[in-house]
Structure formats: C-alpha cells, structure tokens
Amino acid sequence: MVPSILPLPALGFAALALAGKLLGGGRWDDLQVVLRGLPNNVTTEMDLELWRLAQVIKNDGGSRAAVTDRKPAELAEDFRAGQLPAVLQSGLARFMGQYGHRAVAEIDVGMPRWSDDPTHILGVLANYLRLEDSALAPDVQFSNAAEEADACVDRLVAEARSRGLRGTVVRAALRRARLFAGLRELPKYQLVVGLAEVRKQLALAGAALAAAGVVADADDIFFLDLAEARAGLSSGSADFRDLVAQRRADYAVELERRHIPRVLLSDGTEPEAIPSGDAVTASKVPGALSGSPASAGVVTAAARVILDPVGAQLEPGEILVAPSTDPGWTPLFLTAGGLVMEMGGPNSHGAVVAREYGIPAVVGVPDATLRLFTGQEITVDGGAGTVVPS
C-alpha cells in the first residue's frame, strides 16, 4: 500500500513547486497559506474526530464530570474495565476502534498503543474541555484555515492570469497540491497499522514466556531480541529475568537524556547545533533564541514545556515547547497558540502540521526546553525564526 500511496503526495508537492515557479519564485509565504486546512489528511481527521468526541462528552453531565474531575490514569483503568459513564465509554471505544493503533513514538513496537493505555487521549480530552471560546474551537479554526487557503489560491490565480495561460496552469497545480499534499500522512498511518498487529503477536509470545517463567511479565518480551524470545519459547527452561531487569535499568537511564543528535558529522559536529543566519538577527535581541522558521505568524503567550505528551496539560492558547513531535503529539496542536521545537527543520513533522493548522512555529531551537520554562511569556515569530522571552 505504501508504494501505491507515496506518488500522490509527491505529486501534490511537485504541483506546489510548479505553481511557485510560474508565479515568479520567492512566494513561500503565500504557498504556506495554500497548505492550510488540507483535506485528506488522516492525522488531521483523527484530531478533529477526538475534538468531536470532546463535544459529545461536554454535553453529557456524567461523562464531563468524570473527565474534568478525575485523573486520566484512573479513567484509563475504568475504561479497560468497562466502568466509565456510558457516553464516555462508548465514544472512547469507537475512537479506539479507529485510531487505537496509534501512539506517541509509534514506530517503536515496544511503546503501548492508545488502545493499550488511553491515558494520553483522556488527558487530551480534558484539555479540550477547558476551551470555552467557541471562536477558537479546532473545527472552526480548521474551517477558517481552509477558507483562507482557498482565498489565497484565488488571489494567486488572478495574479497569474495577467501572464496568459499561466493562470489556468497555476489553478490546476494549486488544486492538486491541496488535494494530494495531505496524503503524506497516509503511508506512515498504514505502516503503524501493521506495527500494531506485530505488537499484538509479540504480546502473545510474551504472555507464553511469562507463563513459562522465562520472564516476569509479558511486556518483558520487548527487552529481548527475536533469537532470545525463540530460545525461551522452544526450551521453556531459560531464565531471562535478570537480563531483562538490567536492560530495563539501562533503558531508564537512556530516557534521562534531554537531547539526542539525529545527525553527527565525521568531526563530531551536530549540524542542527550550528547557528543559522537567523542567529545574527536573534542576537540583537537580548535573551532571544533562534531556530528555523517553520510556520509564519507571530504570537505572544505563556510557554508550556512538555517533554512527554502523556498526561500533559496544555491550556488553550499556550505555546507548546517540546524536544520533538510526531503524530502522537498532534492532538495537542489543536488548542496550542504556537510551537517551539528543539529538533527538526522546516520539513519535520511538527513544522508541517503547524503550517497546516496555521499556528506560528520555530523549530531547531537548541536547548529550548532548558532555556524556557512553563508560564514564561514568550513571543514566537514563525517567519523570522526567533523566540523572544518577555
């Protein structure tokens, strides 16, 4: 399925590049607007479906009280036991039936899926219920973004018409860009469907290992390699409990790392840590941080530093400051006022989604989660690539 899907988003972005060239080049600010509110984006559809579930919960007294008054971890236990209020239980079950295979860091088979542990999703629902301004509702924002994109397409086509047939070609190119660009999320979505099934099968093997006393818990299989797991299943007398305990301890230590370079040059230099040209601009403002412009716009609001989205509380309008993001983080984007990431470039997942949602974003900001703190008022300029603490 993945090879059959990939050419379509590639065609969409190629069409976008063609339109930019026909318009004379240097039109990235306009082309960013064209990508807002894209249709056919499975991740956006997932986030909006979760928002709609929040509205159903909001209109049911018992469900709303449960989500707002209790901790997400407690609700997750009741969900697994089928003991949540009926509206919440059935609505969450439907969402998990469609999207429960997803997770934060979902390409790691060892990470629990949302259907295994819905704590993160229940926390996001609690955040959504805090949004009281209907004008800031994610579905309204998404609709406004799509209308803004359509208006931008009309404006660019009208501009191109002055050059003869270019107007027709630009319109066709921009329409195809909007039609196909959102499909870029679909290949990974399909891969994760497969990985979720892999996890289920490994969990069955883990249960067999635990029953035989080879490991202490079924989840311990994720700390064995396949050869060890096969040996444990075939012999039944192996004992990997001490080995797993050591690997779990090593894993816990590694999780304490605040930053892991994605790329290192042969001399040990990390390219993303090299100051960009924007650093010169930022340095003129005392205390300013610089990064890569990712999504145009300026916003001033309180920062919320989040290292792990599971159980995180992001108040509507706050600026999300994170090490990095993947699709598992995107439900938080719907109510965020802006985005700052330590890692990634203009084409990283967080940057692309921020542009589609129309929230200002700066990425590749070294040590952002260390230099900024929750509650601090900051100004994010997604066009200049700067973050200025107040």
Stretch among 71-80, 255-264, 371-380 having the lowest mean pLDDT: 255-264
What homologous superfamily is domain 278-389 in, according to CATH?
A: Phosphohistidine domain (3.50.30.10)
Share of the chain above pLDDT 90, in %: 79
Cα atoms in the Cβ-side hemisphere of radius 13 Å centred on 357: 29
Is pLDDT above 70 for 279? Answer: no
Q: Which residue has the higher pLDDT, 347 or 387?
A: 387
**Mean pLDDT to the nearest integer, 38-52:** 95
Is pLDDT above 80 for 276? Answer: no
The CB density around residue 47, as the number of other CB atoms within 10 Å, is 24
- pLDDT digit string (tens) for 163-200? 778 899 999 999 999 999 999 999 999 999 999 999 99
Q: What are phi and psi of 362, to 5 degrees?
A: -130, 130
Domains of the chain by residue range: 1-186, 187-254, 278-389
pLDDT score at 123: 94
CA-angle at 241, arms to 239 and 247, nearest 5°:
130
pLDDT score at 349: 86
pLDDT score at 387: 96
- pLDDT digit string (tens) for 293-348? 999 999 999 999 999 998 888 999 999 999 999 999 999 999 999 999 998 888 78
pLDDT score at 280: 45
Cα atoms in the Cβ-side hemisphere of radius 13 Å centred on 253: 6
Query: Given pLDDT bands bounded at 50, 70 and 90, which one contains residue 284?
Result: low
Contact between 292 and 345 (Cβ < 8 Å): yes
Alpha helix positions (H), the chain: 2-5, 7-22, 28-34, 42-58, 61-69, 72-81, 86-99, 119-128, 138-161, 166-180, 186-211, 226-235, 241-254, 278-283, 349-357, 368-371
**Mean pLDDT to the nearest integer, 91-96:** 98
pLDDT score at 345: 82
- The three-class DSSP label of residue 53 is helix
Share of the chain above pLDDT 70, in %: 96
Q: Which residue has the higher pLDDT, 74 or 3?
A: 74
User: What is the Cα–Cα distance from 60 to 44, expressed in whole angstroms?
Assistant: 25
**Mean pLDDT to the nearest integer, 262-284:** 66
Which residue out of 101, 120, 259, 349 is catalytically annotated?
A: 349
User: What's the whole-number average pLDDT of the chain?
Assistant: 92
Whether 101 is catalytic: no
Q: Give 74's contacts (C-beta < 8 A, 6+ positions apart).
A: none
User: What is the Cα–Cα distance from 110 to 108, expressed in whole angstroms?
Assistant: 5
Is pLDDT above 90 for 242? Answer: yes
pLDDT score at 347: 79
Query: Given pLDDT bands bounded at 50, 70 and 90, which one contains residue 235?
Result: confident
**Mean pLDDT to the nearest integer, 226-237:** 92
User: What is the Cα–Cα distance from 333 to 231, expressed in whole angstroms?
Assistant: 44
Is pLDDT above 80 for 262? Answer: no
Q: Which residue has the higher pLDDT, 22 or 259?
A: 22
Is pLDDT above 50 for 270? Answer: yes
Please report the DSSP string for 300-347 in residue order.
EEEEEE-S--TT----TTPEEEES---GGGGGGGGG-SEEEESS--TT
